Amino acid sequence: MGKKLPNWFKQRIPRAGEMSKVPALLSELNLNTVCQSALCPNMCQCFAQNTATFMIMGNVCTRNCTFCAVTKGTPDAIDNNEPLKIALAVKKLGLKYVVVTSVTRDELDDGGAQHFSSTISTIKEKVPGTKVEVLIPDFKGSPESIQTVTSASPEVINHNLETVPGLYSKVRPMASYQRSLEVLSSIKRISPNTITKSGIMLGLGETRKEVLQVMQDLREVGCDLLTLGQYLSPSSNHYPVALYVTPEEFDVYRQLAMEMGFSAIASKPLVRSSYRAAELFEQAESKLKQYQ
């Protein structure tokens, strides 16, 4: 039997009419969101605010991470019209800041990097002035793929470490902690002014010492933005929750992260990768301008 969810997870559930526009548009354009595919607990609140995190290249992932609700298996062919459809959705929703992520497509030669690039470029072309944040897979560490995405000039490139290195074999068995760190490091080498971002989940059995080491590792590769949120197991078949971290403990981590020099931090139980993404970007951009 799973652990009882603490009362600090309670949120007001929006009425159906408050969020009907987003699901209807996604269905009309045949677009996926990580909100729906990963069972995000904040989905209703985001839809009610006419926003969503788009997930490109289908909704079937080639990796077998044990924390994630996204379907695993053999993906369908990529829809080459997807970048244009996402740009249309961005325009219809009136978004000024867009977050785009993807499933991992290890079977593709470039891991889908060119599709990311096309999506970024098309949004910027069709909806001028829109800021774009991408949450990318590790592309198996391919320098060429990382270069392709970085060269498309998104405002923020996010790559999540997800957890501490000691839990990788159980939580991210097809990933590598060092490879993920190198992805973030490579982005800064290619484009020092590109804002980088990463996040980890808490409550999988990590220690505070391990979390602080991850935070320090991120600062050493120049990571600007950090998100910390509570892991919630999608089902009894996924990795179990070891502990519900209190809001007070999240506040402590936020303070420690600030002292390490992150430009902006989101650290609360319900924080996810795109939580207040535009707000964190604006804080980071403001700080970077101070040093230029």
Domain extent, residue 136, equals 13-290
- Please check whether residue 2 lies inside any domain of the structure: no
pLDDT tens-digit series, residues 173-203: 999 999 999 999 999 999 999 999 999 999 9
- Please check whether residue 208 lies inside any domain of the structure: yes
pTM greater than the 0.85 cutoff? yes
Label residue 239 exposed, middle or buried (CB < 10 Å: 0-12, 13-18, 19+).
Answer: buried
Q: How many domains does the chain fold into?
A: 1
CATH code of the domain covering residue 260 = 3.20.20.70
Task: Indicate whether 10 pLDDT > 90.
Answer: no
Torsion sign (Cα): 42, 65, 63, 224: positive
- Please check whether residue 220 lies inside any domain of the structure: yes
Where would I find the H helices in the chain?
16-19, 21-29, 34-37, 43-48, 82-93, 113-126, 143-151, 168-171, 177-190, 208-220, 247-260, 277-290
3-class secondary structure per residue, 27-72: HHHCCEEHHHHCCCCCHHHHHHCCCCEEEECCCEECCCCCCCCCEE
- Please check whether residue 4 lies inside any domain of the structure: no
Give the pLDDT of residue 291: 67
- Please check whether residue 54 lies inside any domain of the structure: yes
Give the pLDDT of residue 12: 61
Residue 42 — very low, low, confident or very high, per pLDDT cuts 50/70/90? Answer: low
3-class secondary structure per residue, 134-164: EECCCHHHCHHHHHHHHHCCCCEEECCCECC
- Please check whether residue 258 lies inside any domain of the structure: yes
Residue 1 — very low, low, confident or very high, per pLDDT cuts 50/70/90? Answer: very low
